[in-house]
Structure 1
Amino acid sequence: MSNERKKQLQESFNRSKMMELFGAEITGIGEGYFEITVAKQEFMARPAGMFNGSTIATLVDVSSGYAGASAKPEDSYFTTVELKVNYLNPAFGEQLVAKAQVVKNGKVLTVVRSDVFSITNKGEETLAATSLVTLMQLSKKAPDKQID
């Protein structure tokens, strides 16, 4: 992946109001791979203390979209066609890490697997959810404008 492409993805991510609200950081980026880390905030937690499912699903969706975009050499825009999340374990911990990897990089449809891990202060990592996401690449109407 070119440095220019990486910069485009980072700038796009930095414009995301949702990721700003989450206090999210890019912790890994490569061709067909994108990793996002968030620290727990009160609105992300259920009364019992674990991360809620909507936080996990949001990270799945965003990490998958950026993984799909990172597999394309040019500026690209995706929309989610299908998102399936299997919640495997309660997401207790202080952080979530979503690791998204492109499985199939098609011309129009791209399939991404995203695994979300909860991490405790002691560094213990638990697979909280796994997902499969299908994305559709859309044509940009204006070549000079990034669609976020």
Structure 2
Amino acid sequence: MSGSDLNPPELAEAINAKGFMGAAGFRIVAIKPGHAEIALARRDDLLQFFGHFHGGIITALADHAAGIAITSSLPRGKIGVTVEIKVNFLSPADGIELIARAKTLKMSGSIGVATVEVFSKSQTSETLCAFGTATMRAMDLPGELRA
């Protein structure tokens, strides 16, 4: 099957396996058109000096979830790439795992906006630790994903 034939969940899996997302340990939990849920287990190399998840990691997870949410609602052969992202940090992320839940808020032509909630999960609960919005542009898939 060529990349251009991949459906949105397969495409997201292919993208997730490459580069930073795979190295960081991002794990796709769920994808449906316009929605994505991505998780990341706690590791010492992802923490800042107080022992909480680093803000850059939280932002990267939110960005990736938003990109998958937008991409999952685009036609085959297109991918959502970030134009702008804004993240508000609401509480320390000190749990055993981060979970980012993104949904497409609006698609208009080649531009889409997604909202993302990032939760710090403990053994028994989830705490909202960040909220963000991301603007994405629909672009043609890169050649290496089409082959």
TM-score range for the pair, normalised by the shorter chain length: 0.7 to 0.9
Runs (5+) with no aligned partner, structure 2? 1-5
Alignment TM-score, normalising by the size of structure 2 = 0.87
Aligned partners of 2:77 and 2:141 also within 8 Å? no
Q: Distance in 2 between matches of 1:54 and 1:134?
A: 18
Instruction: Specify whether residues 80 and 141 from structure 1 end up closer, same or farther in structure 2 by C-alpha distance, changes over 3 A only.
Output: closer
CA offset at residue 40 of structure 1? 1.0
Aligned to 1:39: 41
Aligned to 2:16: 13
Matches within 5 A, 1:67-146: 67-120=69-122, 122-140=123-141, 145-146=144-145
Q: Distance in 2 between matches of 1:89 and 1:106?
A: 32
CA offset at residue 12 of structure 1? 2.4
Q: Distance in 2 between matches of 1:138 and 1:34?
A: 19
Instruction: Specify whether residues 4 and 133 from structure 1 end up closer, same or farther in structure 2 by C-alpha distance, changes over 3 A only.
Output: closer
Moved over 4 A (4+): none
- Secondary structure at 2:7's aligned position in 1? helix
**Deviation larger for 69-78 or 106-115:** 69-78
CA offset at residue 141 of structure 1? 7.1
Q: Distance in 1 between matches of 2:31 and 2:80?
A: 17
Instruction: Specify whether residues 93 and 140 from structure 1 end up closer, same or farther in structure 2 by C-alpha distance, changes over 3 A only.
Output: closer
Residue 61, structure 1, aligned to residue 60, structure 2: no
Give the CA RMSD over aligned residues. Answer: 1.8
Runs (5+) with no aligned partner, structure 1? none
Aligned partners of 1:49 and 1:92 also within 8 Å? yes
Q: Distance in 2 between matches of 1:60 and 1:4?
A: 22
